[in-house]
């Protein structure tokens, strides 16, 4: 799913951190034998361009995109 957020009113934004929690198997879970099966991973294509922040999100995922103003 494509995400585009217009953040007018801020200038010079950059992505500080972008992570995604996702597994293709919606019933996947962490176990004693696979303690890191489902874990946060970098959201590689998140970008801030002008007043837009955009990314491609996986289905049924939790995402955090943290932006900051350039100084």
- pLDDT for the residue numbered 1: 93
pLDDT digits (tens, 9 = 90+) for 10-61: 878 999 999 999 999 999 999 999 999 999 999 999 999 988 999 999 999 9
Q: What is the pLDDT of residues 45-54, one digit of tens each?
A: 999 998 899 9
Residue 6 near residue 51 (C-beta atoms within 8 A): yes
**pLDDT, position 69:** 86
Model-level pTM?
A: 0.83
Long-range pairs for 44-49: beta carbons < 8 A, 24 or more residues apart: 44/18, 46/15, 46/18, 47/15, 48/7, 48/13, 48/14, 48/15
What does the DSSP assignment read for 26-58? TT----SS-TTSS-EEE-TT-EEETTEEEEEPP
What structural domains does the chain harbor?
Answer: 2-69 (2.60.40.1180)
């Amino acid at each position: 799913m494509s995400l585009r957020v217009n953040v007018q009113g801020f200038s010079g934004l950059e992505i500080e951190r972008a992570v995604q929690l996702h597994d293709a198997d919606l019933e996947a879970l962490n176990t004693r034998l696979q303690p890191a099966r489902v874990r946060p991973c970098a959201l590689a294509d998140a970008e801030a361009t002008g007043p837009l922040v955009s990314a491609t999100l996986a289905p049924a995922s939790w995402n955090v995109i943290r932006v900051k103003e350039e100084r």
